[in-house]
């Protein structure tokens, strides 16, 4: 007589959530089944506690609602040891999840780390604030189709251009040293932004490989070079560029820009300004650095802002070659429903309707590619 193998436990049972079938008095209680959809990376919870029917009467209990959301990796996620680091999740990866409104976030933390082969202690999950294990979707106000972001607790990007792995502590020390250099005595070049005057050093600016004309502007009576900056640009963008010039680092681009701004200025605005200025001054490496940071921060609200910035550079045919433009188009194609629901996206498209053409062209290419793949599949059968 053959024996039936035991059923494989669901992911929620692994997380310590058992499915009760009886209450304390032995009366039957009907709960909905737990489900797991690993194919789409869904963290499953109860579909919702239905009303509980007890012998000798009935009692309605308010159901737990389900909430579908996405976990988006805002940096590359690595499994790191003493010998090497393994890339587990690429920045921008979207992981679909399902939880009940009363389920603790600690379940999400454990499952996400286990599913992707990571250590949960090395991850930070954020919604509007950093999430705690005791939080629930109800507590933090998480709604359907919204995003939770995940990053590494210690910043360890090795993106392009690759500089290496730098922890938050080392990165802070590096930036502090750089700031001391900027604030050191005897600057001999000044960037004028409105009434602001930002000093730097000709030797450092020239060594970074800028164009020959950047340091050939008017000079003061003391021989200091004066670089006038168009009033449409901000001091924050100049500070970001100078920090890149002095450190040649891509580490912490997003946090760096927010910190230098000092005010809740949109990160996309700072990076687009930095891209345009870096291009005009011949800092091609800085253009790549800023575009890399921009790609990391693309969302439905700012994707058109990045496209508009690249459109300004069409004189040198950069808009069709830029990795940022390709990333923006890909984001729009893959998130069409979310993007078109964004008020910011619609407002920017209204103000810059010429962007409709490249978007429609990309959509047509995507449809053609899909038809081509279907044709090849049918021919191979």
Is the Cα torsion angle 229, 233, 239, 243 positive or negative in sign?
negative
pLDDT for the residue 35: 37
pLDDT at residue 228 above 50?
yes
Report whether 222 contacts 294 (CB < 8 A). no
pLDDT of residue 50: 46
User: Looking at residues 215-240, what average pLDDT do you find?
Assistant: 81
In whole angstroms, what is the distance from residue 132 CA to residue 143 CA?
A: 17
Give the global pTM: 0.48
Indicate whether 318 pLDDT > 80: no
Q: What is the predicted pLDDT for the residue at 369?
A: 64
Q: What is the pLDDT of residue 157?
A: 40
Helices (H), 11-152: 11-14, 105-116, 137-140
> Closest Cα to residue 152, out of 88, 208, 209?
88
Q: Which residue has the tokens 């009576």?
A: 221
Domains of the chain, start order: 11-152 (3.10.20.90), 168-370 (3.30.710.10)
How many helices (H) and strands (E) the chain has is answered by 14, 11
275-291 pLDDT per residue, tens: 888 888 888 877 887 88
What CA–CA distance (Å, rounded) separates 152 from 306? 25
Please tell me which residue, 229 or 183, carries the higher pLDDT value: 229
What integer pLDDT is reported at residue 189 of this predicted model?
84
Higher pLDDT, 23 or 138: 138
Q: What is the pLDDT of residues 56-98, one digit of tens each?
A: 444 444 567 899 999 999 888 888 877 777 889 988 899 999 9
The β-bridge relationship of strands 225-229 and 189-193 is parallel
- The band of 271, judged by pLDDT with boundaries at 50, 70 and 90, is confident
Q: Which of 294, 306, 290, 298 is nearest to 352 (CA)?
A: 306
Considering only residues 8 and 274, tell me which one the structure prediction assigns the higher pLDDT. Answer: 274
Find the mean pLDDT for residues 262-279: 74
Q: Which of 309, 223, 236 is nearest to 266 (CA)?
A: 236
Question: Scanning the structure block, which residue is given the tokens 């021919």?
Answer: 379
- List pLDDT tens digits, range 131-169: 999 999 999 999 999 999 999 875 434 443 333 333 444
Find out whether the peptide bond into 92 is cis, omega within 30 degrees of 0: no
Residue 140, token pair as written in the block? 């933090």
H helix intervals, 143-283: 168-182, 202-207, 235-247, 253-261, 267-280
DSSP letter at 315 equals G
Residue 195, SS3? coil
| Token digits of residue 209 | 């490989």
Percentage of the chain modeled with pLDDT above 90: 15
Q: Which of 175-189, 196-210, 257-271 is predicted least confidently?
A: 257-271
Instruction: Give the residue among 169, 232, 181, 233 at the shortest CA–CA distance from 208.
Output: 181
Asked whether the beta carbons of 319 and 272 are under 8 A apart, the reply is no
Confidence of residue 52 (pLDDT cuts 50, 70, 90): very low
Residue 174 pLDDT grade (very low, low, confident, very high; cuts 50, 70, 90):
low
* Mean pLDDT computed over every residue of the chain: 72
302 and 310 Cβ atoms separated by less than 8 Å:
no
Concatenated DSSP letters of 321-370: T-HHHHHHHHHHHHTHHHHHT-HHHHHHHHH-GGGHHHHHHHHHHHHHHH
> Considering only 26-35, 77-86, 213-222, which range has the smallest mean pLDDT?
26-35
Token pair, residue 230, equals: 């168009």
In the chain, which ranges are E strands?
A: 52-54, 57-59, 66-73, 77-80, 85-89, 94-100, 123-126, 146-152, 189-193, 196-200, 225-229
- Token code pair at residue 161: 């251009």
CA 296 to chain centre: 5
| Residue-level pLDDT at 180 | 62
Closest CA to 340 of 308, 312, 303, 311: 303
At 103 the pLDDT is: 93
Closest C-alpha to 32, from 44, 8, 48: 48
% of the chain beyond a pLDDT of 70: 62
Most confident of 81-85, 238-242, 341-345: 341-345
Asked whether the predicted pLDDT for residue 126 surpasses 80, the reply is: yes
pLDDT for position 316: 52
């Amino acid at each position: 007589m053959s024996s039936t193998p035991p059923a494989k436990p669901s992911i929620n049972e692994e997380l310590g959530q058992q499915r009760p079938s009886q209450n304390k008095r032995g009366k039957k209680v009907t709960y909905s089944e737990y489900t797991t959809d690993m194919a789409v990376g869904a963290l499953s919870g109860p579909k919702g506690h239905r009303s509980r029917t007890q012998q000798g009467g009935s009692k309605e209990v308010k159901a737990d609602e389900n909430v579908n959301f996405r976990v988006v990796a805002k940096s590359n996620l690595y499994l790191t040891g003493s010998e090497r680091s393994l890339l587990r999740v690429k920045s921008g990866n979207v992981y679909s999840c399902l939880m009940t409104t009363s389920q603790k976030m600690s379940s999400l933390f454990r499952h996400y780390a286990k599913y992707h082969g990571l250590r949960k202690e090395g991850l930070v999950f954020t919604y509007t604030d950093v999430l705690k294990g005791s939080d629930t979707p109800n507590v933090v106000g998480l709604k359907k189709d919204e995003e939770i972001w995940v990053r590494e607790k210690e910043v360890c990007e090795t993106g392009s251009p690759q500089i290496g792995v730098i922890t938050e502590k080392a990165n802070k020390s590096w930036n502090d040293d750089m700031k001391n250099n900027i604030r050191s005595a005897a600057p001999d070049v000044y960037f004028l932004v409105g009434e602001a005057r930002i000093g730097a050093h000709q030797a450092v600016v020239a060594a970074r490989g800028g164009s020959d004309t950047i340091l050939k502007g008017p000079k003061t009576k003391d021989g200091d070079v004066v670089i006038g900056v168009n009033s449409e640009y901000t001091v924050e963008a100049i500070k970001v560029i100078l920090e890149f010039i002095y450190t040649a680092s891509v580490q912490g681009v997003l946090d760096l820009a927010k910190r230098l701004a000092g005010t809740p200025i949109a990160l996309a605005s700072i990076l687009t300004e930095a891209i345009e200025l870096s291009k005009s001054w011949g800092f091609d490496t800085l253009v790549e650095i800023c575009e890399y940071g921009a790609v990391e921060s693309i969302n439905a609200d700012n994707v058109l802002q990045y496209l508009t910035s690249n459109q300004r550079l069409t004189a040198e045919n950069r808009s069709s070659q830029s990795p940022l433009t390709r990333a923006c188009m890909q984001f729009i194609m893959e998130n069409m429903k979310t993007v078109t629901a964004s008020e910011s996206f619609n407002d920017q498209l209204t103000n810059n309707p010429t962007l409709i053409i490249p978007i429609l062209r990309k959509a047509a290419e995507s449809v053609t590619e899909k038809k081509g793949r279907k044709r090849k599949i049918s021919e191979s059968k």
